[in-house]
Every structure is written in structure tokens, then in C-alpha cells.
Amino acid sequence: MLKITDLEKIYRTEDIETVALNKLSLEVKKGEFVAIMGPSGCGKSTLLNIIGMLDDAEKGSFMFNGEEIIHFNERRRADLRKRNIGFVFQSFNLIDELTVYENVELPLLYLGVDAAERKQKVEAVLEKVQIMHRRNHFPQQLSGGQQQRCAVARAVVNTPKLILADEPTGNLDSTNGNEVMQLLTELNEAGTTVIMVTHSEHDARFAHRIIRLLDGKVVMENILG
Amino acid sequence: MFKNHLKIALRILLRNKVYSFVNILGLAIGVSACLVIYLLVSFELSFEDFQPDRERIYRVTSGFKGQQGENYYNPGLSAPMPASLAQEISGIEYLSACHVWSARTSLPNDKKDGKNPAKIWKNDNSEVLVCQPEYFKIFNYEWLAGSPKTALTTPNQVVLSQTEAEKYFGKIPLAQVLGKQLYFNDSLATTVTGVVKDFPVNSDFKFKNFISFKSIEAKNWRKEFQLDQWTNTNSSSMAFVKLTQNAKANTVNAQFPAFLKKHLDQKDEWNNGRMLSLQALSDIHFSDTLQDNFSRQVHLPTLYTLLGIAGFLLLIAAINYVNLSTAQSITRVKEIGVRKVLGSNRKTLVIQFLCETFIITTLAVFFSVLLVEPILWIFKEFIPKELSFNVLSPNILGFLGIITLGTCVLSGLYPAWMISAYQPVSSLKNQVSSGGQTRTALLRKALITFQFTASQVFILGTIIVATQSKYMLSKDLGFKKDAIVNFHTDWNDVNSNKKNVLIQKLKQIPEIAIVSLGETPARNGYSTNRVTYKEGEKEIKLDVHRRTIDENYIPMFGIKILAGRNITNSDTAKEFIINETYAKALGFKKPEQAVGHFLVYSGGKGDYKLPIVGVVADFHLQSLHKAIQPLYMMSETKYESAINVKIHSKGQSSTDFKTVLAKIEKAYKEIYPNSYEEFSPHFFDESIAKFYEKEERFAKILNTATGVAILISCMGLFGLVAFTTQQRTKEIGIRKVLGASVMQIMQLLSKDFLKLVILGIFIATPIAYWAMNQWLQDFAYRIDISWWIFTLGGIASITIALISVSYQSVKAALMNPVKSLRTE
């Protein structure tokens, strides 16, 4: 699905250079569930942003579905992103002014899907994450778990090939956290590739493989049974 | 505590530089507009208010009933009237006959001394006044030398104002000025018997030479000043009165009809329509109907319009403040929560926020004071030159104080009240929603709509005024106006043959195509004559406009002859040419039917009955404010002094014009070497453009007001969009992650504001339509307000709003979502 070779990313401020990714290489196969772990500042989020095509790297290669995309411009990256990748964030990142239904509908709107198909897809996915009954509520009226389920629904509504989850349970209690992890596992079992950044060993065990980062490098890989 | 407030307020201002800048600049522009308009309006309204007993001072003015039910008014009265009025009308304490005289002044010793060129001062109308000693009892002058008791009691005396005395005699002790000799128009010798202090600048009475009325009672002067003419009314011949303590203007007015009946020949039907009435001193500066030749009239409705504009601009600027500060307050909920938890009550918070407003307003007022002089300079052509700006004068300081406090309360109270209302718990939890249909958001929308409604009314007004101006300057007036120069021959020489010699000379200049005698086809002012058409039972008496012309006149101005023939040159009137309107008024359906009929008009020596030899197509006789009236033209070259010169169409660059003008001037000087009149040629098209000076000034005021309104509104919009995009950074990031394009983000951010702008356009349309329709009623010939004006105005508004929104929205749309979302 994606292959990263010798990726480098450096953040510069006026007098400090921070190496976020240091010649990092990584491969993720189609249908895999990968957890990325490591201490704060090890480059987890940077890596996820680059994989999510939200950020670009200085050097290295990034093959996505067999295509080199490291030199893609913003517009082409955005286009590739909205067709292939769904995002789940720690802080949910739902839009406060939109209802649950409207939040989930948003990616389809940007893909130009027609109204009838949108309705059908959104309702299907809301059923799946079991918040159909709250479809007309605003995010602030929901519990944390419900919000994250809504965010997951939004991430998968356009059936992306890859889901990127950035500490999806970080803001949730264990019951709600488990529900969300269950949801991600089901999606993975249905064929979606999942890459998840997490601090939680518990959550990481849901994955097939754990990649551990330190100082912008992969230091260890655990393959789970 | 207060110091603490100020410190916090200053910090907040510095932290939010964009909002502070927008707020201060917007308010400064609004306040300076207010300040300049206040200066102007208060100056104009203060005219003559220094005059003691001003409510008892009046001018006796004349009126005439016109034929078509229209009345004409004249600020003067027949010269013999004042003497009789003083004796016969009760309720008058003092009366002075006055004559405005545009006489030259010269010093006698200069004339004798062959070495020095004669020192001559040309005075304009507002400088020389012939008056009776009572004038100084009506108007209160401060005497610096001489005595009001004796100063103007005998012939050949003159009283000077202080500046005038210094102009003639230099800076010598004023007592030494007494007894000096002065000549007026070389022939009236006077002795200075008094010096008075000049009136302050806020007076129309700028007279500086006061000649004793007894001087003009001598035989030769009597005739020149028409002192025995009961039938003529000249605006230069006036009477001022001071009523007795208990007298009412009404009771004095009531005596005038009987007075006129007694003195005027009732057999002359013209006299039946004559009226006299008192005009209050305070009305002279503002009168629409009584235009004299010394005062400067101000259009009172214009002043009120200006006041309205000032109020609107200030309001729009205050709205910016309300909008920005209520929007911005979201970012301060936490601070408010903390303050409340720590024991602050709502009152203290309101005071704190008002402190911030106060600082902003004070800074704005400070900058607006700096802007006043540049603004006065930009508008110098229609701001009276006497008007000066002195920040430290008590009036201005008072006004600035009121403006500062007023603006502070107007723009600060609501935000302060609203912000301080946040509940501490939800404030601390940051649970105050920034969007949604809260009351404040609704208010903000209403205010933006209001701003853009006001701007749109201004925009539409500007377009309509510009369209009407263009129409007036480009409309086919029925005659040609390009490359034609007019000037007058020396007034003192009108009847001599000299002008014919000049015409011959001009004809020899190769660049000149045609020369013609006669007042220009369209001109300011008018003169009409009573003309009678009588055939059988039918008798039509009309006041008819007239032009004296020569045979070159009609070809030169390209006026179309519809029937009959051109006029033939003649020293005294022999035949008439009339216009189509007159022909129709006389009942002729076709122009050719009028030819051959006779008209009777009264000239200096009885009635003349002359034939109509031609009918011309209508052309405009006055500005387009006035409809075309009946007109007759005749050749009476003996009395005509206006010369028109048409320059050949080839080589009409401005330098060519200059050389031709120089040649004309040379010829003029050769014929009139001693002329006191300055040779002042005018291009005819420029004279026509001058008809519309008032409109041009109005257009300039409107353009500026529009510019300022748009600028302030757009600054507000800019600030608000900056704020919203900041508020919505995260949302924009999410949307980008989910696949929104830059265009989609821009649409998202602009849409909400554009809706309000469009709503404003719709509200403004009927208001502007109504207001401009009122304005257009002033013109007999006017444009139709058509749909394209509103379309154009709407597009302009939307474009301007889009531009002010786009910078921020593009910036927001291009933002890297990674940065926007990195908040955890």
C-alpha cells in the first residue's frame, strides 16, 4: 500500500533545527493494522501527517499505491488524500456548527457525491457506529465516545483505503476507548488499512504490528500474533 | 484601580494590533468628517450672531407677481422708497438707505505726481457702501477714530474700516487718517471722517468704505443712482431698518401695501404686482430667493444634509467598533471568568471595557484633529476662506470632548455590557460558543447590513449625480458651444462706434472664423420683456426672454432656422426672430405660420410694433434646471456689448488658443487703451460648465462621503473577517483535511458576509431611488433612473466587499492544516 524510504523532516526555527524524521523507512501492506508508538517528540505525529499527505518531507521517497508522491503539489496531494485517506483525531475535530449528520456528510460533499447517494452512505455509516439516533445533535451535545464514533464515521464514510488514527482513544475513558478500538478492528477486518499512533500498549495490541520510534527513527518492530 | 484598567487596556490594544488599527483609523476618519462638518456648519450658522439687537434688524425687500403665477424677489427696492418709508411707516427706529457700489478708489496725490503711476484700487461689490448715518445706529461698529455723530452727516465724507485705512495709507496712527482725501471712480472726492473696526469674519457685511449718502444727492449722482426712479428695482439699492423695541415685523409688513398704493402709479398694471417685505438679518446668509451682490448665500438644506452625512459616517465607524469588540470578546471569556471568580462585579468590568473604548476613542480623536487641516485643504474650493481651525478654541475643545464621550458610550456600552455578562463557570470552561444564532451574532449581522445599506445609498447617489452631470454637459443644447470665446467691450463705451472698429480688427485675425455681437444663447440669469401679440380678438401678453443679436449670431452658434430667414443687422430693432416655444405659445401650430405676424414690445421710447421674420428651433436659454421659455431675438447692435468669437476648427490645441487669445487681447487694448475693466475672455463651453458648479460641489461631497463610508465599512468587514477566520482556523483545517479546496474555503468564508452585503443592497435601492428622485426634481431636464444604475452600484458594492474579504479568506484557505490542528 505504501512504502517510505529514507524520509527526512527537519523543523527549523530561528536558531534551532529539530530533526523530526531521520532517514526513516517503513512499509505498510494493504489490509494491515499498524500501531506506531514512541515517546513524545519522537516523530509519530509528523510521520502520520506525511503519510496523510498533510505535510511534506525534505528528502526521501514516499510511494503510495505504487506511485511516487513526494513531489506532488498541494492540489494533487489534496485530491489523492480525499479519495484514499480517512482521519481520526485524538480531539475528534468535529465542526461545532454542524450536526452529526452534516459532519459525516462533509467528505462526500467535497468529493462531489450526489445528494441521494450521500444520504444513503451517511445513514449506513451512522447505523454502523450506532449513533443514528443522534444524527441531528451538535457535537457538544454528545459524550466523548459518541463524538469519536461520529469522527470515525466521518473518516470511513467515503470508504477510504487507509485510515489514519492519531491517538483515537486519548480523550476517552476505557469503555468508550474499547468501543472505538473495536470499531477500527472491524473496519480493518472489512479490508481497510489502518495506521494508528498511540501511547497505549493496550490499544496497540489491537494491531498486527507495532512500530516503535525514537528520535525520528524506527527502533523496533513487534509483530503480534 | 483606574491605573490598572488603563494598563490592561493598553496591553490589549497592543496585543491585537489589527483590530486596534482598524478601530482607531475607522473612528478617526469618522470623527474628522464630523469635525470638519461641525466647523463648516457652526461657522455658517454663526453669521451675524455677534450683532447686538440682531433680532430687530431687517432689510426691506421687493417682490413682483409674475404672469404665470410665479413670484420674483429682489433684495433691493426703488431708490426713492427709503426716504418715504422712514417717514411713513411706524415701528421703525432707524432706517438707512444703502447703495452697494463697485467703485474704484484712488488717492489724489498720486494723480498729481507724474512720477508715480496713479494708485488705483479696484473694489468689488462687497467693499463700498453708500449709506446714511443711521447705518451705524442699526449696525454696531466699534469706532477707532472719528465719531458716528458727525462722520457721515454731510456730502463727500467717507468712513473707512481699519484694514481699508491701512491699505490706503499704511500703518499710521488712525487719528492721522482723518482728513485724508480719497477719490471714488475718479470723480467723487471724499474726506475721511472716521475709522471703524472691521466686522468679524462671520459676517456678510464686509463693507470697508462707507460714503455719506448726502454725497450722491447732488444732481449728477442722483441720476446715476436713480434716486428719483420709482419704477426700477436694483438689487444694489437697499434699505436696512432697526425696528423699535416692541414693533413686530408683521405689523410693519402690513403697512407696505398701502404705502405702495400711495406712491406708485396704479394705472400701470405692472405696479399692481409689486410687494415689499422685511427680511430678517439672520435670513440674509441663507436666503434662496433673495440674492444680492455682496453677501454669500449658503443653502441651508445642504448644511443639514452635511450634518446628516457626518452623523452617518460617525455611526458607521462606531458600528465597526461594536462589531469588532463583540466578536473579539470571545477570546476574552477566560479573562472575564477569572476576574469574576476573583471578585470583580459586573460594574467594574463594564468600567474596564469602557476604559479600553475611551483610549481608542481618544486616540481616534487625536488623529482626527491631525486630519482636519488636510481635509480643509482638499475641499478648499468650497470651504469659505475665512474659516479657520483652532484646536484650542473653547468651542472646538467642547465639541471634541462631547464627540469623545459620545463615541465612547455609543460604541463601548453595548460590548462592555455584553462581555461582562458571561457566567464565570462557562467562561472558565471555554464553553461560550463563537458561532450560531446568538443575539450578539444577530446584532453584528444587522449592523453590517446597516453599514452596507448606507454605503450603497451613497454609491447609488454618486452614480446618479455623475450621470446627471454628464448628461447636462453633453446634452444637445440646440447650439454649438466649442471653440467660442466671449467677452464684453468696455462698459463705459457701449454706445460708441469703437466696438465696430474692434469687430473689424478681429475679423482680420486669420485664426478667427466668425465674430458676432450678442449675449450667449445660454447664460446665467435672464432678462425678460413684456411682449404683446394682438390680432383681432386675440391678445397674448407674455414675459418673454430676449437676446439682442446680429446676422452672424445664428450661423455662428449653429442655431437652426425652422421658418423664415435670418435677422439683418440694424442699429435699433427692426424685426424679430422667435423660438418655437414662443410660436406655440402664440397659438401657431407650425413655425411658418408665425412668420409675418407682428409683436409689440415697450422700449425706452414707447411701443414698437415689429414683424416676426423667422422662427428658430428651441435652444436652451439657461441651465438645464430651467425649462425652455418663449424667446424673441432682435438686432439692436447699438446697445449690445457682448462679443463672441469663433476660432477656426483647425489647430485647436491649447497653445493655439493662447496665441489667438493674445491676438484678441492686443486688438482689444488697441481700441480700449484706458479701459479699467480687465479684459476677461471666457470660453463658452466653460461658462456652461459653470452653470453646474453647485452640482459639481455636491458631487464632490458625495464622492468623498461615499469613499469614506465604503472605506470604513470595508475596514470593519476586513477586521471582522480577520477575526472570524482566526476563530475558524481549526474548522478550516478540518475541512481541508476532509478534502475542501482553496476555492471552497474562500466561498465558505465570504458567503456569510456577502449575504449581508446583498441584503444591504436590496434595502438601499428604494431609499436611494426615492432620495435621488427628489434631487432630480431640481432639473427641468433630467436623466431617468434606470435599472443599470442599480446593477452597477450592486456590482460595485459586491466587488468591494469581496476584495476586502478575499485577502483574509485566501490567507486562511492557504494555511497548512497541520498547523491549524496542532492545538493539543
Query: For residue A210, what pLDDT is reported?
Result: 94
Condensed to tens digits (0 to 9), the pLDDT of residues A56-105 reads: 888 899 999 888 988 888 788 888 888 899 989 888 888 887 899 999 99
Condensed to tens digits (0 to 9), the pLDDT of residues B132-142 reads: 999 999 999 99
DSSP H or E run through B237: strand B237-243
CA dist B788 and B467 (Å) reads: 11
Whether B738 and A96 lie within 8 Å, measured CB to CB:
no
CA dist B801 and B334 (Å) reads: 33
Whether B739 and A82 lie within 8 Å, measured CB to CB:
yes
Q: Which of residues 777-816 of B touch A (CB under 8 A)?
A: 816
Whether B738 and A75 lie within 8 Å, measured CB to CB:
no
Mean pLDDT, residues B227-249 taken together: 89
SS3 annotation, B717-758: HHHHHHHHHHHCHHHHHHHHHCCCCHHHHHHHHHHHHHHHHH
Q: Where are the beta strands (DSSP E) in chain A?
A: 2-12, 17-28, 33-37, 59-64, 67-68, 85-88, 162-166, 193-197, 209-214, 217-223
Distances (CA, A) of B29 to A125, A166, A170, B318, B413: 56, 50, 52, 11, 21
Please tell me which of the candidates A90, A107, A140 has its beta carbon nearest to residue B738.
Answer: A107
Condensed to tens digits (0 to 9), the pLDDT of residues B493-534 reads: 666 778 888 888 888 888 888 899 888 888 776 667 778 888
Q: What is the dihedral of CA B556, B557, B561, B562, to 10 degrees?
A: 160
Whether B737 and A106 lie within 8 Å, measured CB to CB:
no
Indicate the pLDDT class of residue B109, thresholds 50, 70 and 90.
low
CA dist B477 and B684 (Å) reads: 13
CA dist B201 and B210 (Å) reads: 18
- Please work out, in degrees rounded to the nearest 5, the angle formed at the alpha carbon of residue B17 by the alpha carbons of B14 and B21: 115
Condensed to tens digits (0 to 9), the pLDDT of residues B606-657 reads: 677 899 999 999 999 888 888 898 999 999 887 788 889 988 866 566 677 8
Q: Which three cell numbers stand for residue A76?
A: 494533487
Indicate the pLDDT class of residue B81, thresholds 50, 70 and 90.
very high
Sequence-ordered alpha helix ranges (H) in B126-254:
135-138, 162-169, 174-177, 219-224, 249-253
B739 touches chain A (CB under 8 A): yes
Q: Is the pLDDT reported for residue B570 higher than 80?
A: yes
CA dist B192 and B112 (Å) reads: 19
- Please work out, in degrees rounded to the nearest 5, the angle formed at the alpha carbon of residue B304 by the alpha carbons of B300 and B310: 145
Please tell me which of the candidates B431, B730, B744 has its beta carbon nearest to residue A110.
Answer: B744
Backbone phi and psi for residue B415, each to the nearest 5 degrees, phi listed first: -55, -40
Range of the domain at A97: 2-223
Q: Helices B787-814 and B439-474, interaxial angle, to 10°? A: 130
Query: For residue B344, what pLDDT is reported?
Result: 77
Q: Is the pLDDT reported for residue B434 higher than 50?
A: no
Q: How far is A5 from chain B (nearest CA, A)?
A: 22
Q: Is the pLDDT reported for residue B310 higher than 70?
A: yes
Condensed to tens digits (0 to 9), the pLDDT of residues B762-799 reads: 999 999 999 999 989 988 899 998 889 999 999 999 99
Please list every residue in chain B whose beta carbon sits closer than 8 Å to the beta carbon of residue A78.
736, 739, 741
Give the three-class secondary structure for B627. coil
Whether A107 and B730 lie within 8 Å, measured CB to CB:
no
Nearest chain B residue to A85 by CA distance is B738
Q: What is the DSSP letter of B549?
A: B
Condensed to tens digits (0 to 9), the pLDDT of residues B115-132 reads: 454 577 777 767 899 999
Query: For residue B435, what pLDDT is reported?
Result: 44
List, edge to edge, every strand of the sheet that includes B484-488.
B512-517, B642-647, B484-488, B682-683
Whether B735 and A110 lie within 8 Å, measured CB to CB:
yes
Sequence-ordered alpha helix ranges (H) in B552-630:
553-557, 580-585, 591-594
Give the three-class secondary structure for A150. helix
Mean pLDDT, residues B729-743 taken together: 85
SS3 annotation, B475-523: CCCCCCCCCEEEEECCHHHCCCCHHHHHHHHHHCCCCEEEEEEECCCCC
Please list every residue in chain B whose beta carbon sits closer than 8 Å to the beta carbon of residue A140.
431, 433
Query: For residue B592, what pLDDT is reported?
Result: 92
Q: Which residue has the cell 415685523?
A: B249
CA dist B72 and B70 (Å) reads: 7
**Among B130, B77, B89, residue whose Cα is nearest residue B239:** B77
Q: Is the pLDDT reported for residue B58 higher than 90?
A: yes
CA dist B555 and A171 (Å) reads: 95
CA dist B809 and B801 (Å) reads: 12
Mean pLDDT, residues B236-246 taken together: 93
Please tell me which of the candidates A45, A82, A97 has its beta carbon nearest to residue B738.
Answer: A82
Whether B741 and A110 lie within 8 Å, measured CB to CB:
yes
Please list every residue in chain B whose beta carbon sits closer than 8 Å to the beta carbon of residue A45.
822
Pairing relationship of beta strands A217-223 and B104-106 according to DSSP bridges: unpaired
B737 touches chain A (CB under 8 A): yes
Nearest chain A residue to B732 by CA distance is A95
DSSP A175-219: HHHHHHHHHHHHHHHTT-EEEEE-S-HHHHTTSSEEEEEETTEEE
Domain CATH number, residue A119: 3.40.50.300
Indicate the pLDDT class of residue B103, thresholds 50, 70 and 90.
confident
Pairing relationship of beta strands B528-535 and B576-579 according to DSSP bridges: unpaired
pLDDT averaged over every residue in chain A: 89
Q: Which three cell numbers stand for residue B804?
A: 476586502
Give the three-class secondary structure for B311. helix
- Of residues B29 and B638, more confidence is placed in B29
Condensed to tens digits (0 to 9), the pLDDT of residues B677-722 reads: 677 888 888 888 888 887 888 888 888 888 888 888 888 888 888 8
Mean pLDDT, residues B332-351 taken together: 79
Range with the lowest mean pLDDT among A148-152, B352-356, B528-532? B528-532
CA dist A58 and A23 (Å) reads: 10
Residue B482's identity, in one-letter code, is D
CA dist B481 and B557 (Å) reads: 7
Please list every residue in chain B whose beta carbon sits closer than 8 Å to the beta carbon of residue A95.
731, 734-735
Condensed to tens digits (0 to 9), the pLDDT of residues B379-416 reads: 887 788 888 888 888 888 999 999 899 888 888 888 88
Query: For residue B438, what pLDDT is reported?
Result: 63
Q: Which three cell numbers stand for residue B668?
A: 482689444
Mean pLDDT, residues B738-749 taken together: 86
Query: For residue B436, what pLDDT is reported?
Result: 43
Cβ-in-10-Å burial (0-12, 13-18, 19+) of B526 comes to middle
Whether A54 and B738 lie within 8 Å, measured CB to CB:
no
Q: How far is A155 from chain B (nearest CA, A)?
A: 8
Q: Which three cell numbers stand for residue B746?
A: 474562500
Mean pLDDT, residues A192-196 taken together: 94
For chain A, the 3-state helix, strand and coil shares in percent, each to the nearest 5, are 40, 30, 35
Query: For residue B749, what pLDDT is reported?
Result: 85
**Among B804, B803, B814, B806, residue whose Cα is nearest residue B732:** B814
Whether B736 and A55 lie within 8 Å, measured CB to CB:
no
HSE-up of B292 (CA within 13 Å, CB side)?
Answer: 30
Which are the contacts of B272, defined by CB distance < 8 A and separation ≥ 6? B65, B266
Mean pLDDT, residues B152-166 taken together: 93
Please list every residue in chain B whose beta carbon sits closer than 8 Å to the beta carbon of residue A40.
none
For chain B, the maximum distance between any two Cα atoms, rounded to a whole number of angstroms, is: 106
Residues B152/B210, Cβ–Cβ less than 8 Å: yes
Query: For residue B822, what pLDDT is reported?
Result: 67
CA dist B761 and B798 (Å) reads: 9
Chain A with chain B: Cβ pairs closer than 8 A:
52
pLDDT averaged over every residue in chain B: 85
Condensed to tens digits (0 to 9), the pLDDT of residues B260-296 reads: 999 988 777 677 788 999 999 999 999 888 888 888 8
CA dist A90 and A168 (Å) reads: 5
Q: How many domains does chain A have?
A: 1
DSSP B69-124: S-EEEES---TTHHHHHHHH-TTEEEEEEEEE---EEE-HHHHH-SSSPP-EEE--
Q: How far is B781 from chain A (nearest CA, A)?
A: 56
Interface test with A, best of B437, B734, B819, B823 (most A CBs within 10 A): B734
> Within 10 A of B283 (CB to CB), how many other CB atoms are there?
17
Please tell me which of the candidates A49, A81, A106 has its beta carbon nearest to residue B735.
Answer: A106
Whether B739 and A90 lie within 8 Å, measured CB to CB:
no
Q: Is the pLDDT reported for residue B802 higher than 80?
A: yes
Q: Which three cell numbers stand for residue B805?
A: 474579504
Sequence-ordered alpha helix ranges (H) in B558-643:
580-585, 591-594
Please list every residue in chain B whose beta carbon sits closer than 8 Å to the beta carbon of residue A87.
737-738
CA dist B184 and B212 (Å) reads: 12
Q: How far is B316 from chain A (nearest CA, A)?
A: 29
Please list every residue in chain A whose beta carbon sits closer than 8 Å to the beta carbon of residue B741.
75, 78, 110
